[in-house]
Amino acid sequence: MASILYHTETTSPDQTADLAVSIGQVLKAGDCLLLVGSVGAGKSLFARALIQSLQDTPEDVPSPTFTIVQTYETKLGDLWHCDLYRISSPHEVIELGLDDAMATAVTLIEWPKNLADLTPPDALTIRINDLGGDVRKLSFESTDADWAASLEKVFENAV
Ligand SMILES: Nc1ncnc2c1ncn2[C@@H]1O[C@H](COP(=O)(O)OP(=O)(O)O)[C@@H](O)[C@H]1O
Ligand SMILES: [Mg+2]
């Protein structure tokens, strides 16, 4: 069971974006973030802010709802932004090459439930709960001790 390492509330899209930028500062190649939350929670907004903060010239970051995978070149190397809502079997995950990417690239994955057994055990789950209006609760959960150390840096300085 993953335990909650940190949680916080944001009261605006900009605050969530700022938090995403801070998380981006502690990432390295091979890190996998699982973005969990209902439609409109802010998963894509979080991913967009994070991705753009890792680029010298920020690109457009469309929601991957229809393409399933969008890839980016970033300061940390390849980054994959995925939306697995329409994936129905782990076979498709392998066909996409996402299992390899999760080991080598930075991966940001919306609707990660559909990874099933392919979920990396050392991933960081970011759960976003829409508390109404512009208020969101974000929980950061992992079984991996390295994330506890990385997030300590983020929450000491930024939140
Ligand atoms: N505190 C907040 N954090 C993130 N998004 C927020 C917040 N308050 C309002 N929003 C709005 O919620 C929406 C989130 O959309 P999106 O990121 O596409 O959701 P998802 O990818 O989870 O379906 C955006 O329109 C954003 O402006
Ligand atoms: Mg989305």
Is the distance from CB of 38 to CB of 132 less than 8 angstroms?
A: no
According to DSSP, residue 123 is labeled -
Tokens 């001790």 found at: 145
Tokens 């950061």 found at: 140
Choose among 154, 141, 150, 148: nearest CA to 36: 141
Q: What is the pLDDT of residues 49-94, one digit of tens each?
A: 999 999 999 999 999 999 999 999 999 999 999 999 999 888 999 9
Q: What is the pLDDT of residues 26-54, one digit of tens each?
A: 999 999 999 999 999 999 999 999 999 99
Share of the chain above pLDDT 90, in %: 91
CA of 6 relative to ligand 2 center, distance in Å = 22
Q: Is 64 a pocket residue for ligand 1 (Cβ < 6 Å)?
A: no
Please name the residues in contact with 56: beta carbons below 8 A apart, sequence gap of 6 or more. 75
CA dist., res. 52 & res. 61, Å (int): 8
Determine the pLDDT at residue 158: 54
Choose among 33, 69, 9, 41: nearest CA to 150: 33
Q: What is the pLDDT of residues 104-129, one digit of tens each?
A: 999 999 999 999 999 999 999 999 99
Q: Is 129 a pocket residue for ligand 1 (Cβ < 6 Å)?
A: no
CA dist., res. 94 & res. 78, Å (int): 18
Q: Residues with Cβ within 5 Å of ion ligand 2?
A: 43-44, 63
CA angle 32, 33, 38 (to 5 degrees): 145
> How many CB atoms neighbour CB 149 within 10 A?
11
- Residue 50's CATH number: 3.40.50.300
Q: Is the pLDDT of residue 149 over 80?
A: yes
Name 141's bridge partners. Answer: 4, 125
What's the whole-model pTM score? 0.96
- Quote the number of domains for the chain: 1
CA dist., res. 134 & res. 61, Å (int): 21
- Structural domain boundaries enclosing 19: 3-157
